């Protein structure tokens, strides 16, 4: 296989999690008696541009279908993050009713609804029908399709160039990252700005966040690699911020290479940090598999000990990262009988691979567990706060990544 960005032959393996189903392919009851498709989940590193990427195996259309079940609006943390972003970006770039904002992968409208309320013209581009339909309740105009150079060029030809293009947690999901970036370049006005938020590869490695690896994440990104991808599309990165989201993310600010936005010192600072942390050293990537294996082994050991000691266990958060962890560890419902989640789109379904049922959080009241494993560790504080009453009754919270922790 060749690198999706620079076409260098890939030989350096970063992580191999075996064969698993797509992490958001939640099952209905009738699906449990049918064969379940699994695909290799193997991650390779390009030693030329340092893009970390999944091994090719399937089309994006199979991953983000009409039943795609991730709705951003189910998390208060994400709603607050979106509101704060809208306020910041509006002030920084003087957005108004004369501006035009486009969000790529707008999900359920959780972010753009803030621009609607400010009467700033905006448009969402979202390929999945379930989330695109939901966003209309907020008054968000949506085009339902995958974004790329064809869409960006078409909008530019129709005089729909953007003052601001937003791509929050989508850049890693794009199979053809060069074409996607070309689309952004076509869509931007001459002085327009694009902001992209994505999990930072450095944080993934340093904090052993291997469970953020799944088929829907085609790329695992460093600033160094993003600058290279932008350059190919005649874009430049002029600012970057560290974020706490997803266990440590970057927000990059980009524009056309001819635009007058001055490159800030923050860009050099992050590049220096990446270089000093070994993101251009082969050994950094070849050593990562053992870290993932240690988490898997410790989780299995904990669950088996709990079962042998007669302790009950439940899970919270039917998140994609949870599916990666459970399927790699081979966990089934004999060890975790059920998982609770607040998302209506997931309740009543089953986790892919493990077939663990997903229940409403009220199930924790009827069957209070001795241990509650929080699978989406990035919102652990929010989950613990919402379930403080369980702790008072004796339930202990468990987080498996980056290492097993009982609270």
Q: What domains can you pick out in the chain, each with its CATH number?
A: 72-277 (3.40.50.150), 288-406 (3.40.50.720)
Q: How many whole angstroms separate alpha carbon 378 and alpha carbon 77?
A: 10
Hunting for tokens 């010192």 — which residue is that? Answer: 265
Can you give the pLDDT at residue 69? 46
Residue 135 — very low, low, confident or very high, per pLDDT cuts 50/70/90? confident
Mean pLDDT score, 296-304: 98
The answer to whether residue 57 scores a pLDDT higher than 80 is no
Question: For residue range 186-237, what is the model confidence (pLDDT) as tens digits?
Answer: 999 999 999 999 999 999 999 999 999 999 899 999 999 999 999 999 999 9
Mean pLDDT of 3-32: 96
Mean per-residue pLDDT, 287-308: 98
Share of the chain above pLDDT 70, in %: 95
Q: Given pLDDT bands bounded at 50, 70 and 90, which one contains residue 67? A: low
- Chain segment 307-343, per-residue pLDDT in tens: 999 999 999 999 999 999 999 999 999 999 999 999 8
User: Would you state the structure tokens that stand for residue 18, as one six-digit string?
Assistant: 């075996």
pLDDT at 134: 84
pLDDT per position as a tens digit, 362-396: 999 999 999 999 999 989 999 999 999 999 999 99
Structure tokens at 252: 């990059």
pLDDT in tens, 156-169: 999 999 999 999 99
- Residue 369 is predicted with a pLDDT of 98
Among 46-50, 62-66, 187-191, 217-221, the minimum mean pLDDT is found in 62-66
pLDDT at 270: 98
């Amino acid at each position: 296989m060749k690198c999706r960005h620079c076409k260098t032959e890939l030989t350096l393996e970063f992580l191999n999690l075996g064969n698993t189903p797509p992490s958001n392919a939640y099952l209905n009851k009738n699906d449990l008696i049918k064969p379940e498709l699994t695909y290799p989940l193997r991650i390779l590193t390009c030693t030329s541009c340092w893009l970390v990427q999944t091994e090719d195996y399937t089309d994006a259309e199979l991953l983000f279908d009409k039943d795609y079940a991730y709705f951003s609006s189910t998390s208060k943390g994400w709603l607050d993050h979106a509101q704060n972003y809208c306020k910041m970006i509006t002030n920084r770039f003087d957005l108004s009713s004369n501006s035009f904002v486009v969000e790529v992968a707008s999900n359920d409208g959780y972010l753009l609804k803030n621009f609607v309320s400010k009467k700033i013209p905006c448009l969402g581009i979202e390929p999945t029908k379930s989330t695109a339909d939901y966003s209309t309740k907020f008054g968000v105009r949506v085009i339902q399709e995958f974004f790329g150079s064809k869409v960006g060029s078409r909008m530019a030809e129709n005089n729909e160039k953007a003052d601001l293009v937003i791509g929050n947690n989508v850049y890693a999901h794009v199979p053809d990252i060069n074409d996607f970036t070309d689309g952004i370049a076509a869509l931007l006005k001459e002085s327009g700005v694009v902001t992209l938020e994505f999990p930072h590869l450095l944080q993934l490695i340093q904090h052993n966040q291997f469970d953020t690896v799944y088929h829907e994440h085609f790329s695992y990104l460093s600033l160094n690699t993003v600058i290279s991808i932008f350059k190919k599309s005649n874009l430049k990165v002029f600012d970057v911020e560290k974020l706490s989201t997803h266990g440590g993310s970057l927000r990059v600010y980009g524009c056309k290479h001819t635009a007058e936005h001055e490159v800030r010192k923050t860009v050099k600072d992050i590049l220096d940090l990446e270089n000093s942390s070994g993101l251009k050293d082969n050994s950094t990537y070849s050593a990562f598999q053992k870290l993932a294996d240690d988490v898997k082994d410790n989780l299995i050991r904990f669950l088996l000990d709990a079962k042998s000691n007669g302790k009950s266990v439940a899970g919270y958060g039917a998140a994609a990262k949870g599916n990666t962890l459970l399927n790699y560890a081979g966990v089934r419902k004999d060890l975790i009988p059920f998982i609770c989640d607040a998302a209506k789109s997931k309740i009543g379904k089953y986790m892919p691979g493990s077939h663990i049922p997903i229940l409403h959080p009220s199930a924790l009241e009827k069957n209070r567990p001795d241990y509650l494993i929080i699978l989406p560790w990035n919102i652990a504080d929010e989950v613990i706060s919402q379930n403080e009453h369980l702790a008072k009754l004796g339930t202990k919270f468990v987080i498996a990544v980056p290492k097993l922790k009982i609270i």
